[in-house]
Amino acid sequence: MIELTLAEIAEAVGGRLVAGSGGAGPDTVISGEAQTDSREVRPGQIFFARRGEETDGHLFAGKAVEAGAALLVVERELDEHELSVERELEAAGDVPQIVVPEATEALGALATEVVRRVRARGGLTIVGITGSNGKTTTKNLVAGMAERLGETVASEKSFNNEVGGPLTMLRVRDTTETLVAEMGASAEGEIARLTAMAPPHIGVVLTVGLAHAGEFGGIETTFRTKSEMVRDLPETALAVLNRDDPYVSRMAEMTRARVRWFGLHPEAEVRASDIDAGADGTRFTIHAGGESLPVHFPVLGEHHVMNALAATSVALELGLPLAEVVDVLQRQTRAARWRMEVMGGRDGVTIVNDAYNASPDSMSAGLRTLAQIRKPQGRSVAVLGAMSELGEYSVEEHIRIGLQAVRLRISELVVVGKEARQLHISAINEGSWDGESVFFETQDEAYDYLMRTLRPDDTVLVKSSNSAGLRFLGDRLGEAFA
pLDDT of residue 202: 98
Distance CA 72, CA 98 (A): 6
Number of domains into which the chain is organized: 3
pLDDT of residue 446: 96
Identify the domain boundary among 285, 312, 331: 331
Does 310 share its domain with 448?
Answer: no
Domain assignment of residue 391, yes or no? yes
Would you list which residues are annotated within the binding site? 131-137
pLDDT of residue 87: 43
pLDDT of residue 210: 65
Helix, strand, coil share of the chain (percent; to 5): 40, 20, 40
Does 21 share its domain with 158?
Answer: no
Give the structural domain span for 182.
Answer: 123-331
Start-to-end Cα distance in the chain? 41
Give the mean pLDDT per block of 10 residues along the chain (482 residues). 96 92 84 94 96 86 92 92 59 82 97 96 94 90 97 84 93 96 86 95 91 61 91 96 96 97 97 92 95 94 93 98 97 74 91 88 92 93 90 87 91 93 88 75 96 96 90 94 92
Q: What is the CATH number of the domain that holds 183?
A: 3.40.1190.10
| Exposure on the CB side of residue 212, measured as CA atoms within 13 A | 18
pLDDT of residue 93: 62
pLDDT of residue 88: 46
Domain assignment of residue 178, yes or no? yes
Does 233 share its domain with 345?
Answer: no
The pTM of this model reads: 0.86
Identify the domain boundary among 102, 136, 169: 102
Does 364 share its domain with 279?
Answer: no
Would you list which residues are annotated within the binding site for ATP? 131-137
Strands 46-48, 238-242: pairing is: unpaired
Residue 368 to residues 173, 187, 307, 401: CA-CA distances in angstroms? Answer: 42, 30, 17, 11
In sequence order, the β-bridge partners of residue 56 are: 51
Does 77 share its domain with 200?
Answer: no
Does 318 share its domain with 425?
Answer: no
Distance CA 75, CA 121 (A): 32
Quickly list H helices, 251-343: 304-318, 322-331
